[in-house]
């Protein structure tokens, strides 16, 4: 049976991702189309606890589809992890007669939404917004396409100076638990090697690959390093390589939070719009406690539990291709 939903709230939580504003815009305008009152919660779960809710109209989300970051701001909340914090958040929602919520964020956001909705029986729909692309149940997450384009653009610029000076560059990208950004950046930038959390590449194996390049007179090389790989950060790896292999002048570049900022790509704007629209449509149909994603270009519903706990594997064919093309 469809719940009687008249007022809904939307918020962004965790790390920001390019395209979150496009998702907010789609949620607000789709909710308005269905004659629902829509409220924005500022600063995620922290704002929910503090009662930072404001009514949103169609005009409030004009001219934001192209903007990076999130107009609703975002934060991580330690207080929400406590029973008292969630109780205060529930009372804030009651004060505004909120019947359901739409949460835009990554693994931690959906985990918090899952616990809260089960405790207080408020329907939640999740929208996957994270540059890491590590949520099960969707081929791509909001912000991922923009992040890899940013990383590839940086790697291309580094390639120019590496070529000019015959250097070996270790380029560190985000990805504490997931190698999606690193793998696709390596392929897109023509890097010689990639180090990711999902596979183990020893320092000796990496040196062996670099020696192959040096033997055929390869004058420079790029190694893309996911921050969560098993050999340490890019600086540590570069130091270990220098001790055993000094053919190249070795440098390190950490791209860091550049990957989170900037205007979203067209792909991220379209993805975010589709998911924001689908989230409201799911509530109208009576769905709850699911994440909306896109698989094979079709909207798919995935339970919070599966989205959070099931592993999203890398494509083995891509891994093999990256190795062969980097030789």
Q: Known catalytic residues? A: 132
Q: What is the C-alpha separation between 237 and 235, in angstroms, rounded?
A: 5
Q: What is the C-alpha separation between 53 and 74, in angstroms, rounded?
A: 13
- Bridge-partner residues for 293, per DSSP? 300
Token readout for 34 is 């269905």
Token readout for 91 is 């009372």
Q: What is the C-alpha separation between 208 and 135, in angstroms, rounded?
A: 34
Of the candidates 54, 102, 104, 112, the residue with the CA atom closest to the CA atom of residue 82: 112
Neighbours of 317 (CB within 10 A): 8
DSSP letter assigned to residue 82 = S
Neighbours of 253 (CB within 10 A): 19
Dmax (CA) for the chain in angstroms is: 70
Of the candidates 220, 133, 219, the residue with the CA atom closest to the CA atom of residue 184: 133
Pairing of strands 37-41, 53-55: antiparallel
Three-state DSSP class for 140? coil
Three-state DSSP class for 87? helix
User: What residues have CB less than 8 Å from 321, skipping those under 6 apart?
Assistant: 187
């Amino acid at each position: 049976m469809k719940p009687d939903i008249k007022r809904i709230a939307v918020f962004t939580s965790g790390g920001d991702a390019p395209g979150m504003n496009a998702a907010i815009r789609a949620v607000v305008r789709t909710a308005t189309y269905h004659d629902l009152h829509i409220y924005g919660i500022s600063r995620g779960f922290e704002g929910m606890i503090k009662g930072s809710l404001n009514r949103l109209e169609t005009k409030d989300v004009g001219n934001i589809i192209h903007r990076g970051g999130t107009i609703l701001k975002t934060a991580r909340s330690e207080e929400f992890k406590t029973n008292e914090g969630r109780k205060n958040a529930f009372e804030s929602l009651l004060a505004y007669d909120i019947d359901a919520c739409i949460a835009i964020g990554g693994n931690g956001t959906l985990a918090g939404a899952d616990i809260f909705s089960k405790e207080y029986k408020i329907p939640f729909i999740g929208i996957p917004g994270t540059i890491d692309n590590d949520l099960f149940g969707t081929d791509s997450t909001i912000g991922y396409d923009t992040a890899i384009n940013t990383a590839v653009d940086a790697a291309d610029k580094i390639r120019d100076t590496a070529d000019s000076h015959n250097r070996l560059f270790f380029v560190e990208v985000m990805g504490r638990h997931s190698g999606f950004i690193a793998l696709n950046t390596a392929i897109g930038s023509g890097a010689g090697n990639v180090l990711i959390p999902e596979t183990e590449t020893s320092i000796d194996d990496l040196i062996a690959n670099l020696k192959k390049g040096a033997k055929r007179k390869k004058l420079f090389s790029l190694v893309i390093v996911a921050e969560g790989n098993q050999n340490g950060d890019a600086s540590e790896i570069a130091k270990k390589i220098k001790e055993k292999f000094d053919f190249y002048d070795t440098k390190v570049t950490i791209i860091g939070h550049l990957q989170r900022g900037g205007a979203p790509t067209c792909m991220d704007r379209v993805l975010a719009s589709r998911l924001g629209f689908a989230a409201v449509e799911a509530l109208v149909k009576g769905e709850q406690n699911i994440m909306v994603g896109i698989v094979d270009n079709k909207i798919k519903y995935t339970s919070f539990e599966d989205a959070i706990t099931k592993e999203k594997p890398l494509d083995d064919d891509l891994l093999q291709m990256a190795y062969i093309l980097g030789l």
